[in-house]
Amino acid sequence: MLKALLKWPLILLLSTALPAFGGPHPLPSHQAAEIESLVNRAAELLEERGRAAFQDFRKPGAGWRYGDVYLFVVDMQGIVLFNAVRPNREGRDLLDERDADGKRFHRDFVDTVRKFGSGWVDYMFPRPGQPIVTIKWSYVCATRIDGVEALVGAGVYVD
């Protein structure tokens, strides 16, 4: 418990003191804080409950998903462990997947977590149920799931 209490101030310090891997995000501070809080709470739940937390993340109305904001979980090798709106991506190695601009955004997620513990990454990605890509900024945070190093994230689409 002490370890968990000491970790969160460090993560919050890193998320505000260090620049995001993809550069400073263009989000209003209240929106960025909301996403960071959601992801940090998810990271804590994943460390406590492991993969069993995925059931909570999928429950409609549980507060883990709203509008176009949803959680995703990726291990440090780029395997998608959980995606709330695209479960067909689960179990797939997407480390080298490229967005519409050629950016390997899963690699950027992993690099951000390895270098900073958490941070923001920008990339091009379609909104749920939409074929057209748009700019998305995702906040990712280090976590452990059943002893495995991973990251959890959520993002905001910017029009």
Q: What is the pLDDT of residue 25?
A: 74
Q: How many Cα neighbours within 13 Å face the side chain of 23?
A: 4
Asked whether 108 and 123 are in contact (CB, 8 A), the reply is yes
Mean pLDDT in residue range 45-67: 94
Mean pLDDT in residue range 143-157: 96
Separation of alpha carbons 71 and 58, rounded Å: 9
2-158 belongs to which homologous superfamily?
PAS domain (3.30.450.20)
17 pLDDT more than 50: no
20-48: pLDDT as tens digits: 444 567 777 888 999 999 999 999 999 99
Q: What is the pLDDT of residue 13?
A: 37
pTM: 0.83
| Helix 2-17 / helix 29-49 crossing angle, nearest 10 deg | 150
**DSSP code for 10:** H
Residue among 159, 153, 156, 157 nearest 71 (CA)? 153
79-136: pLDDT as tens digits: 999 999 999 999 999 999 999 999 999 999 999 999 999 999 999 999 988 999 999 9
